[in-house]
Amino acid sequence: MTNGSKVIELRRDLGLWGAIAIVVGTVIGSGIFLVPRAMVQRVGSPSMVFAVWVFGGLLSLCGALSYAELAAAMPEAGGEYVYLREAYGPLWGFLYGWTQMFVAKSGSIASLAAGFILYLANFFPGLDGVFYTVPLPIGAQGAPLALHYGQLLAIALILFLGGVNYFGVKLGGDIQIIVTGIKVLLIACIVVVGLGLGKAHAAAPAVISHPLTIAGFFAALVAALWAYDGWNNVSMVASEIRRPQRSLPVALIAGTLAVIAIYLAANAAYFHVLTAQQVGSSPRVAADMMRRVVGNWGANGVSVAAMISIFAALNGSILSGARVPYAMARDGLFFAPVARVDAAYHTPGVSILLLTAWSALLVLSGRYEQLFTYVIFASWILYGMTTASVIVLRRKRPDLPRPYKTLGYPVLPVLFVIVAIFLVLSTLFDSPRESLLGLGLIFLGLPFYYHWKHRLAVRPT
């Protein structure tokens, strides 16, 4: 982006703590407060729940170690978009960026904002009220679309954080550090209350459901990986991190290890106070644990902690996610204005506005969860391909400077790819309709790719 003869670039204003806060703050959303129920229902016992958390965490660490090499070697805006482009060509980078912009990242932002309002409605039930019904068959199952007051507040929250990140990556990064610090402190308080003040439950049967199966293990692993999702987001903002060759690997690895430790500690507190049966029947396990130990005010405190946790994840998602469409547009594979960098704040302002506006529209439509479910299948294909690109680029570009090299190469990247393949196949067999619809949503981008590719070909040099 130029201003007269001066080139306007993104600025490296994020330090190491900001990068770590993006990893931790974006990963830990509402999952830690919710998913233990689904996990224990699938694998039956607390010991197996811990085994799944550890396996999912180590798998995420394998991905983080692989991404650390890619991020240090190519510290550009866009993350996976850049790595897929370099390893397999621009089409795969485009399909990733298209998916992030219109389904995965925007759907995640919409879902986080809606989750924030869900917890806020515990204190303000009026947010569930309907203010208008659209008399068209565009709602759930062809019903009229009911619009709630909470949706308006969720949209306002998204647009507010979009505005914050528009005014400089340093401002967005500082907010991420502060809110993530508060989040970790509150979760630590929940752990201390559970383990320190909570009375251990009486002896109870260890297994609550059917015997453990491979399908059950992978179903629990999907839930755990949903809670771990987001460790890769810091790579999207690589072009704005100071000393990226050092800071990116440290942030990816240290942040992922911190999340694993936090999740294991929280689950230890849950299962110390509650039996496996109680966890398996609780939609809000953290709140029920706190209610049992310190009463209703403790459960309300969990709602506050969850809102702060979601707020940090939402800010980190907007901060990082807007860099993907910006990188695509800079390469000529997206709408040209999205490549603009604001002259005053050195942020991809148009990209931030576009991502937040589309996410807000998904909130209003109420279809974000459905879209997000559809794209999980295809997203893991792209995650696996990105991790495999460590191996591809070692062969394709042996001359590429690599300040950090993946620990345990090639075993750990291969392990990640193998598990990704099993997850993809498991999802395909369990949810064939949703998986194929997700692929269809992604491949809707193909006509746009060939349109922009044609324009690049005929552009005068």
Each residue's pLDDT tens digit, 66-75: 999 999 999 9
What mean pLDDT do residues 416-440 have? 84
Question: Considering the domain boundaries, does residue 217 fall inside one?
Answer: yes
Contacts 24+ apart (CB under 8 A), 452-455: 452/332, 452/333, 452/334, 453/90, 453/333, 455/332
SS (H, E, C) 301-344: HHHHHHHHHHHHHHHHHHHHHCHHHHHHHHCCCCCHHHHCCCCC
Give dist(CA 373, CA 110) in Å, integer: 13
- Asked if residue 360 has pLDDT above 80, the reply is yes
Between the ranges 33-37, 70-74, 371-375, 376-380, where is the mean pLDDT highest? 70-74
% of the chain at pLDDT higher than 70: 93
Q: Is the model more confident about 139 or about 452?
A: 452
Question: Considering the domain boundaries, does residue 1 fall inside one?
Answer: no
What mean pLDDT do residues 285-298 have? 90
Give dist(CA 217, CA 72) in Å, integer: 34
Q: Which residues of 263-285 are buried (b: 16+ CB within 10 A; e: fewer)?
A: bebbbebbbbbbbbebbbebebb
Q: What is the pLDDT of residue 5?
A: 47
Q: What is the pLDDT of residue 240?
A: 94
CA dihedral 306, 310, 311, 314 (to 10 degrees): 180
Q: What is the pLDDT of residue 28?
A: 93
pLDDT tens-digit readout, 28-74: 988 888 889 889 988 888 999 999 999 999 999 999 999 999 999 99
Question: Considering the domain boundaries, does residue 360 fall inside one?
Answer: yes
Question: Considering the domain boundaries, does residue 3 fall inside one?
Answer: no
Which amino acid appears at position 395 of this protein? R
Mean pLDDT of the chain: 89
Q: Of 33-47, 254-268, 303-317, give the lowest mean pLDDT range.
A: 33-47
- Asked if residue 8 has pLDDT above 70, the reply is yes
pLDDT tens-digit readout, 80-107: 999 999 999 999 999 999 999 998 899 8
Tokens of 84: 């897929």
pLDDT band at residue 210 using 50, 70 and 90 as cut-offs:
low
Q: What is the pLDDT of residue 367?
A: 67
If one counts every other C-beta atom within 10 angstroms of the C-beta of residue 458, the result is 6
Domain total of the chain: 1
Which amino acid appears at position 155 of this protein? I
Q: Is the model more confident about 197 or about 331?
A: 331
- Asked if residue 381 has pLDDT above 90, the reply is no
- Asked if residue 4 has pLDDT above 60, the reply is no
What mean pLDDT do residues 188-205 have? 84
- Asked if residue 394 has pLDDT above 70, the reply is yes
Q: What is the pLDDT of residue 209?
A: 55
- Asked if residue 164 has pLDDT above 50, the reply is yes
**Cβ(389)–Cβ(70) below 8 Å:** yes
Question: Considering the domain boundaries, does residue 397 fall inside one?
Answer: yes
Question: Considering the domain boundaries, does residue 2 fall inside one?
Answer: no
Cα 458 off chain centre by: 37
Give dist(CA 65, CA 55) in Å, integer: 15
Q: Of 58-67, 369-378, 409-418, give the lowest mean pLDDT range.
A: 369-378
Q: List the CATH number of the domain containing 123.
A: 1.20.1740.10
Give dist(CA 352, CA 340) in Å, integer: 11
- Asked if residue 461 has pLDDT above 60, the reply is no
Give dist(CA 248, CA 234) in Å, integer: 8
Beta-bridged to residue 145, according to DSSP, are: 134
Tokens of 265: 């500690």
If one counts every other C-beta atom within 10 angstroms of the C-beta of residue 411, the result is 11
- Asked if residue 1 has pLDDT above 70, the reply is no
Question: Considering the domain boundaries, does residue 442 fall inside one?
Answer: yes
- Asked if residue 253 has pLDDT above 90, the reply is yes
Beta-bridged to residue 134, according to DSSP, are: 145
Residue 117 domain boundaries: 8-458
pLDDT band at residue 138 using 50, 70 and 90 as cut-offs:
confident
pLDDT band at residue 370 using 50, 70 and 90 as cut-offs:
low
Tokens of 325: 């469409």
% of the chain at pLDDT higher than 90: 61
Question: Considering the domain boundaries, does residue 296 fall inside one?
Answer: yes
